[in-house]
């Protein structure tokens, strides 16, 4: 855990810490759920689920010091695992994890200036993201966009505009200049782009859990077919154009473990 001396102090720093811890917990409760479930053995001691500021998650024993350096997650989540249906248990863990994330953020935010409405702004920023409970229960599902067999599935409304022409073809057209072939297909592209916007409005980034926004650059994994903000996986539009088959960090990690 981060030490108090290096803890985030501004609204932006606290929110960045919140999104990083949240990303780790989203991964634990969705993409890495089988691994997470197996680690929560009811035969073990009281275990807690931690989301760390480096976007990693960990199931471990609670801190020994009293009082702890930071608020602690729900204790003993492993004890109820086999006494409930799996989806209900995961939902319960998600609710407690949401509470923990808020408690950590407002522990850091205790020093914020009330008169400047800093705490209100922090809560507003946090509230714009779907909760872990919403993600786990499907109210804000981590769902895939339709698969596209060829090319890197990327879009950036500022520089590159993408259009689905079929289930196996994705055409990129520059907003500043279009070649002759793209011009001939412009009408078809515009129609399909509008449909694609409607279909993917509820898509959620596999790293930060943020909802789809056509003004941001996104890229899809050709292995698991989940979608990510380019900034979350450190992929730029220019870099995406040179990638034939994109593999997300989660799939890269799974392959490394199998080897």
Residue 180: pLDDT above 90? no
Residues 112-121: contacts with CB under 8 Å, at least 24 apart: 112/11, 112/14, 118/11, 121/11
Q: Kindly report the pTM of this predicted structure.
A: 0.56
Tens digit of each residue's pLDDT (9 = 90 or more) over 106-123: 999 988 887 778 888 999
Split at pLDDT 50, 70, 90, the class of 12 is: very high
**Could you tell me which of 212, 188, 182 has the C-alpha nearest to residue 200?**
212
Quickly state the pLDDT bin for 151 (edges 50, 70, 90): very low
CA 58 to chain CA centroid, Å, is 17
The pLDDT tens digits for 120-132 are 899 999 999 999 9
> How does residue 20 score in pLDDT terms, banded at 50, 70 and 90?
very high
φ, ψ of residue 198 in degrees (nearest 5):
-65, -40
Which conformational region is residue 27 in: left (phi greater than 0), alpha (psi within -120 to 50 degrees), or beta? Answer: alpha
> Strand pairing of 160-166 and 169-174?
antiparallel
Predicted pLDDT at 142 = 45
Task: Name which of 18-22, 139-143, 176-180 the model is least confident about.
Answer: 176-180
Q: Which pLDDT score, from 0 to 100, does residue 185 have? A: 44
């Amino acid at each position: 855990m981060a030490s108090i001396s290096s803890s985030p102090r501004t609204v932006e720093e606290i929110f960045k810490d919140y999104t990083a811890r949240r990303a780790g917990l989203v991964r634990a409760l969705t993409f890495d759920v089988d691994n997470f479930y197996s680690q929560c053995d009811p035969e073990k001691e009281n275990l807690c689920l931690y989301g760390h500021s480096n976007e990693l998650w960990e199931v471990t024993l609670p801190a020994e010091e009293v009082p702890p350096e930071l608020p602690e997650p729900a204790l003993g989540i492993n004890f109820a695992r086999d006494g409930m249906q799996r989806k209900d248990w995961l939902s319960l863990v998600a609710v407690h994890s949401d509470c923990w994330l808020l408690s950590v953020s407002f522990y850091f935010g205790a020093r914020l200036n009330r008169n400047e409405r800093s705490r209100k702004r922090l809560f507003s920023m946090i509230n714009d993201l779907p909760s872990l409970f919403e993600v786990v229960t499907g109210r804000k599902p981590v769902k895939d966009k339709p698969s596209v067999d060829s090319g890197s599935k990327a879009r950036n409304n500022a520089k590159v505009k993408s259009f689905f022409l079929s289930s196996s073809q994705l055409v990129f057209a520059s907003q500043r200049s279009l070649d002759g072939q793209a011009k001939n297909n412009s009408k078809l592209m515009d129609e399909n782009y509008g449909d694609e916007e409607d279909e993917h409005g509820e898509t959620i980034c596999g790293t930060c859990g943020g909802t789809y926004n056509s003004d941001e650059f996104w890229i899809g994994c050709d292995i698991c077919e989940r979608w990510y903000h380019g900034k979350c996986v450190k992929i730029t539009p220019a870099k995406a154009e040179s990638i034939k088959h994109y593999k997300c960090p989660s799939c890269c990690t799974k392959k490394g473990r199998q080897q």
